[in-house]
Structure 1
Amino acid sequence: MTKPTLAQPEPVPASRILAVGGMRGGTLVPNDDIIGPINSSDEWITQRTGIRTRARAGREVSVKDLAVGAAEDALAKAELTGADLGAVLVSTVTHFEQTPSLAALVADTIGATPAPAYDISAACAGYCYGIAQADALVRAGTAEHVLVIGVEKMSDFIDPSDRTISFLLGDGAGAAVVSHSETPGIAPTVWGSDGGKADAIYQTRSWLDYRRQEMGEPEPPTPELAEEVSAMTTPTLRQQGPTVFKWVISSMPDIARRAVAAAGLQMSDIDVFLPHQANMRITDQLLKLLKFREDVVVGRDIADTGNTSAASIPLATERLLREGQAKSGDIALQIGFGAGLVYAAQVVVLP
Structure 2
Amino acid sequence: MTATTAGSRILSLAHHQPTRVLTNDELAVMVDTSDEWIRSRVGIATRHIAAQDESVADMAIGAAAKAVARAGVDAADIDLVIVATCTAVDRMPSIAARVAHHLGVPEAAVFDLNAACAGFTYALATADMTIRGGGSSTALVIGADKMSDFLDWQDRTSCVIFGDGAGAAVVTRTDDARSDGIGPVVWGSQPQRGSAIVLGTTGPEGPPALFRQDGHVVYRWAVTSLAPVARQACERAGVAPAELAAVVTHQANLRIIEAVAKGLGATNAVVARDVVDSGNTSAASVPLALSKLVERGEISSGAPVLLLGFGAGLSYAAQVVGCP
TM-score by length of 2: 0.95
Contact between 1:275 and 1:299, CA under 8 Å: does it hold in 2?
A: yes
Contact between 1:63 and 1:94, CA under 8 Å: does it hold in 2?
A: yes
**Correspondence list, 1:171-210, <5 A:** 171-181=164-174, 182-184=176-178, 185-205=181-201
Q: Secondary structure at the match of 1:160?
A: coil
**Structure 1 residue 329 corresponds to structure 2 residue 316:** no
Q: Report the AA paired with residue 92 of structure 2.
A: T
Q: Which residue of 1 aligns with 2:247?
A: 273
Q: Which residue of 2 aligns with 1:168?
A: 161
Q: Which residue of 2 aligns with 1:219?
A: none
Q: Report the AA paired with residue 186 of structure 1.
A: I
Counterpart Cα distance in 2 of 1:53 and 1:197? 30
**Correspondence list, 1:15-26, <5 A:** 15-26=8-19
Aligned residues: 321
Residue from 316, 319, 323 that aligns with 1:343: 316
**Structure 1 residue 308 corresponds to structure 2 residue 281:** yes
Q: Report the AA paired with residue 191 of structure 1.
A: W
Change (3 A) 1:284 1:10: closer
Give 4+ residue runs of structure 1 displaced > 4 Å after superposition. Answer: none
Counterpart Cα distance in 1 of 2:210 and 2:115? 17
Q: Which residue of 1 aligns with 2:31?
A: 38
Counterpart Cα distance in 2 of 1:334 and 1:25? 24
Q: Which residue of 2 aligns with 1:138?
A: 131
Is 195-204 or 169-178 further displaced after alignment? 195-204
Deviation at 1:145, TM superposition (A): 0.3
Counterpart Cα distance in 1 of 2:98 and 2:192? 33
Deviation at 1:60, TM superposition (A): 1.8
Q: Which residue of 2 aligns with 1:217?
A: none
Contact between 1:152 and 1:172, CA under 8 Å: does it hold in 2?
A: yes
Counterpart Cα distance in 2 of 1:325 and 1:170? 24
Deviation at 1:12, TM superposition (A): 4.6
Counterpart Cα distance in 1 of 2:259 and 2:306? 16
Q: Secondary structure at the match of 2:160?
A: helix
Counterpart Cα distance in 1 of 2:284 and 2:5? 28
Q: Which residue of 1 aligns with 2:71?
A: 78
The Cα RMSD (Å) is 1.6
Q: Which residue of 2 aligns with 1:92?
A: 85
Deviation at 1:38, TM superposition (A): 3.2
Q: Which residue of 1 aligns with 2:259?
A: 285
Contact between 2:97 and 2:111, CA under 8 Å: does it hold in 1?
A: yes
Q: Which protein is bigger by CA-based radius of gyration?
A: 1
Counterpart Cα distance in 2 of 1:39 and 1:33? 11
**Correspondence list, 1:212-231, <5 A:** 230=206
Unaligned runs of 5+ in 1: 1-7, 210-225
Counterpart Cα distance in 1 of 2:169 and 2:160? 28
Counterpart Cα distance in 2 of 1:80 and 1:234? 40
Deviation at 1:108, TM superposition (A): 1.1
Is 126-135 or 282-291 further displaced after alignment? 282-291
Q: Secondary structure at the match of 2:88?
A: coil
Deviation at 1:33, TM superposition (A): 1.1
Contact between 2:227 and 2:261, CA under 8 Å: does it hold in 1?
A: no
Counterpart Cα distance in 2 of 1:114 and 1:107? 9
Q: Report the AA paired with residue 213 of structure 2.
A: Q
Residue from 231, 243, 250 that aligns with 2:217: 243
Q: Report the AA paired with residue 144 of structure 2.
A: V
Contact between 2:84 and 2:115, CA under 8 Å: does it hold in 1?
A: yes
Q: Secondary structure at the match of 2:182?
A: coil
Contact between 1:83 and 1:112, CA under 8 Å: does it hold in 2?
A: yes
Residue from 297, 302, 315 that aligns with 2:270: 297
Q: Report the AA paired with residue 241 of structure 2.
A: M
Deviation at 1:271, TM superposition (A): 0.9
Q: Report the AA paired with residue 347 of structure 1.
A: V
Residue from 216, 224, 238 that aligns with 1:264: 238
Deviation at 1:143, TM superposition (A): 1.3
Counterpart Cα distance in 1 of 2:306 and 2:3? 29
Deviation at 1:141, TM superposition (A): 2.0
Q: Report the AA paired with residue 271 of structure 2.
A: V
Deviation at 1:287, TM superposition (A): 2.0
Unaligned runs of 5+ in 2: none
TM-score by length of 1: 0.88
**Percent sequence identity over aligned pairs:** 43
Deviation at 1:299, TM superposition (A): 0.8
